[in-house]
Structures are given as C-alpha cells and as structure tokens.
C-alpha cells in the first residue's frame, strides 16, 4: 500500500512468468501512484501486459514497456539515459530476467548454452545493478533503493544436468551477498529471493520449446505459481525502510530440495 506509493520500479524479464506476475502484483498493491518500467526482449508482449495492467487498475499506475536484452552490455549501459526524464528516478530494481538451457552434462554442454546462461543470469544481472546503483547512491543517507535479485534453490544445491544454470545462480548468490556488505553504510536494501519449482515458461525454454518435455517436469507435482513469488517480492519491497528481507527460500509443499519432490502418480 502506502509505502510503495510514488515509486519507480524496473522489472527485468517482465514478459513472462515471475516478472510478469510481479508487475501485476505491484500495480494491484499500489494502484494510485506508481511507475512500472517493464523490460524484456519481447516488446510486443510487454505492450500487451502494460495494456492489461492499465485495464485492471486504471491509470494511477503508469507503465512503460521497454525493450532490453540484459545479455547485451551496451543495451544495459545505455538503458537509463534512454529513459524519458520522468522515468529515471528509479527506486526498485527487480533483477528477474534469467533462463536455463538444456539438461546436458559435461563434456557435452553446448558452448552457446553456457554463454547465454552466464551472459543473462550473471553478467546481465550485474550490469543492470551497476547501471541503476548510481541513482540509488545519489540519494541522502549514503543512498536509498531496493535491489531484488531472483536466485534459485539451484544456486544452493547444484544438481546433475544443471551444472551451468546452478553455477549461474550460485554466482548471483555470491554477488548479492558481497553487494549487501559493500552497501552496509547506505539505506540501499539488497534482497534475494530463491524459488524452488515454479511453473512458468522456464522449462519450455530449458527444452528449446518442447512443451511435452516441459510438462513432464511438473507431472504429478503441484508447483508454485508465478503469483506466489510475485507476492513475496512485493511484500519484501513494501517493508519498513529499516527491514531487509535479505534471503528467502520458497518451496511448494511437496518439495524439500532441488531434486526432492513428492509426486502423485
């Protein structure tokens, strides 16, 4: 509610899944005065999502769809200066864009898959953070703003067939923890949220568009929905300024570890 009023929020990977749900959840929670910058590669999808949000909550929430590939360093470094002036005073960055490619094991992992996962999940997240931090640091008390990084259970518990993805999420975790220490003298909150199994386009992307393989991942399971994670992200952002939800691991009931799932058959 009130604590989010007037904020400008950037969400990466807002065209699908957790990012898309997070945009809608911010809008519902603070419908009167909010600016949402929705970024991803699929600009037409972002425009549709922006229209849907306006239809749902009205124009108290201003939504800016912005095409941005976080794996392209030059797009990220010019992102802030390309924003219209009234959109540059960013308060919250949700680093959500990310992907997994394949289930191959070493030595058979495609170079392209290795590179795209690191370029998006790790370098993209770091570059976005560096692009936005100067805005946060320019504020009083050493700086103010929220960086919310989406990690994963995979970053805590590596599994066979996910070595690269798991390594990227472990890197997110390390970067996030170091950053929180670097910003100790500021009011900048560094927040990590680590979901377990959430049903989104994640597995469709993992299996290069093969929906039946993606569906098999969730067969007999009751995964989280992207809205479940969105609620937690918005809750974390809406706490009193002195409260940092530093680190959160979120499972559905029938999951207890990366590969420990109770399946109904």
> Which residues face 248 on adjacent strands?
193
How would you classify the pairing of strands 92-95 and 61-67?
unpaired
Distance of CA 169 to the CA centre of its chain: 12
For residues 97 to 136, the per-residue mask of contacts with ligand 8X3, x marking binding by CB under 6 A and - elsewhere, is ----------------------------------------
Structure tokens at 172: 């997110």
Name the nearest CA neighbour of 46 among 75, 15, 16: 15
Q: How many CA atoms lie within 13 A of 58 on its CB side?
A: 6
* Selected range binding ligand 8X3 among 46-54, 79-87, 130-138, 152-160, rule: CB under 6 A: 152-160
Out of 17, 162, 223, 252, name the contact with ligand 8X3 by CB under 6 A.
162
- Least distance in angstroms from the C-beta of 197 to ligand 8X3: 6
Distance in angstroms (rounded) separating the CA atoms of residues 259 and 238: 32
CB 91 within 8 A of CB 7: yes
CB-nearer residue toward ligand NDP: 170 or 186: 170
19 sits near ligand NDP (criterion: CB under 6 A): yes
Distance of CA 14 to the CA centre of its chain: 8
CB-nearer residue toward ligand 8X3: 157 or 177: 157
Name the nearest CA neighbour of 59 among 36, 76, 92, 75: 36
50 sits near ligand NDP (criterion: CB under 6 A): no
120 sits near ligand NDP (criterion: CB under 6 A): yes
154 sits near ligand 8X3 (criterion: CB under 6 A): yes
Taking the C-alpha atoms of 206, 41, 62 and 87 in order, what is their torsion angle to the nearest 10 degrees? Answer: 120
Check 2, 7, 144, 169 and give the catalytic one: 169
Distance in angstroms (rounded) separating the CA atoms of residues 18 and 35: 18
* Selected range binding ligand 8X3 among 34-42, 58-66, 130-138, 150-158, rule: CB under 6 A: 150-158
If contact means CB under 5 to 8 A according to the sort of partner, which of ligand NDP, ligand 8X3, none does residue 28 touch? none
CB-nearer residue toward ligand NDP: 41 or 139: 41
For residues 189 to 208, the per-residue mask of contacts with ligand 8X3, x marking binding by CB under 6 A and - elsewhere, is --------x-----------
Distance in angstroms (rounded) separating the CA atoms of residues 117 and 113: 6
Distance in angstroms (rounded) separating the CA atoms of residues 212 and 49: 26
Does 169 participate in catalysis according to the annotation? yes
162 sits near ligand NDP (criterion: CB under 6 A): no
Name the nearest CA neighbour of 42 among 85, 9, 76, 12: 12
User: Which residues, numbered 224-263, are part of the site for ligand 8X3 (CB under 6 A)?
Assistant: 258
Residues near ligand NDP (CB under 6 A) = 12-19, 40-42, 68-71, 96-99, 120, 150, 152, 195, 197-198, 200-202, 205, 226
Active site residues: 165, 169
């Amino acid at each position: 509610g009130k604590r989010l009023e007037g904020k400008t929020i950037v969400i990466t990977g807002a065209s699908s899944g957790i990012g898309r749900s997070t945009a809608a959840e911010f809008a519902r929670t603070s419908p009167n005065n909010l600016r949402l910058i929705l970024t991803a590669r699929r600009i037409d999808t972002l425009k549709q999502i922006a229209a849907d949000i306006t239809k749902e909550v009205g124009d108290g929430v201003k939504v800016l769809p912005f095409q941005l590939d976080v794996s392209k360093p030059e797009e990220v470094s010019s992102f802030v200066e390309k924003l219209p002036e009234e959109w540059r005073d960013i308060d919250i960055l949700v680093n959500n864009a990310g992907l997994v490619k394949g289930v191959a094991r070493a030595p058979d992992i495609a170079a392209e898959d290795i590179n795209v996962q690191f370029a998006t999940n790790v370098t993209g997240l770091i570059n976005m953070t560096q692009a936005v931090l100067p805005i946060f640091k320019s504020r009083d008390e050493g700086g103010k703003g929220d960086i919310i990084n989406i990690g994963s259970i995979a970053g805590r518990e590596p599994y066979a067939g996910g070595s690269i993805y798991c390594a990227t999420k472990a890197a997110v975790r390390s970067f996030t923890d170091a950053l929180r220490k670097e910003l100790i003298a500021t009011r900048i909150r560094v927040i990590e949220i680590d979901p377990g199994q959430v049903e989104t386009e994640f597995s469709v992307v993992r299996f290069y568009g093969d929906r039946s393989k993606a569906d098999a991942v969730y067969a007999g399971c009751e995964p989280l929905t992207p809205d479940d994670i969105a609620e937690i992200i918005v809750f974390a952002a809406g706490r009193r300024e002195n409260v940092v939800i530093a680190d959160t691991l979120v499972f559905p009931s029938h999951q207890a570890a990366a590969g420990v799932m109770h399946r109904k058959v």
